[in-house]
Amino acid sequence: MVDSLSVQDRHQRAHSAVARFHERLVARDLYGLGHVWAPHGTLEFPFAPPGWPKLRGRREILDYLRDFLREVRVTEIVEETRHETADPDVLVVEWVAAAAAVRSGRHYRLPYVSILEVGALGILSFRDYWSPLATGHALGRLDELIASQESAS
């Protein structure tokens, strides 16, 4: 399908999707968060440990986000820089989330770099680059993460 929007409108649509994603994440709005994605959108974590899934479709993404929100309470996006690309549907977003691990109550800040492609129905592709070690430490699950790496070898 050819997108009839202007380049500027496509840039704006991509920026709006990022804003909605961050807003719904902080609000802990699972339904709104999942529906930022297109029905057949994807969510993947290229720096994740081996075996981490690439999520395909809104149902898988919603299931993942439900589990994520049970473990993490994002309280604020404390930094954010958006970089437009030559493709008006693609943004690179550097961001830092202030959060608390639900299990331990431990507060932390974690940086991310995300690359998003947005279409008429929402996010088509979301590649989330984060540090598994920093995340494991923040969530109090570093030993579990290291053990999973050792068993994958």
Q: How many CB atoms lie within 10 A of CB 62?
A: 17
Closest CA to 49 of 132, 116, 141: 132
Model confidence at 131: pLDDT above 60: yes
Rounded mean pLDDT, 37-56:
91
3-state secondary structure of 43: strand
Measured distance CA(74)–CA(27) in Å, rounded: 8
More confident residue, 143 or 24: 24
What's the token pair of residue 145? 């993460």
Backbone angles phi, psi at 10, to 5 degrees: -70, -40
Domain ranges of the chain: 7-152
3-state secondary structure of 50: coil
Residue whose pair of structure tokens reads 């081996």 in the numeric block: 50
Specify the pLDDT at position 152. 53
Rounded mean pLDDT, 35-47:
95
Rounded mean pLDDT, 97-122:
93
Contacts of 74 (CB under 8 A, 6+ apart): 25, 26, 28, 97, 98, 99
Model confidence at 137: pLDDT above 80: no
Go through the chain and tell me how many residues it has.
Answer: 153
Closest CA to 128 of 117, 112, 139: 112
Given a contact cutoff of 8 angstroms between Cβ atoms, the answer to whether 57 and 70 are in contact is no
* CATH class label, 7-152: alpha beta
Which is it for strands 37-44 and 90-101: parallel, antiparallel or unpaired? Answer: unpaired
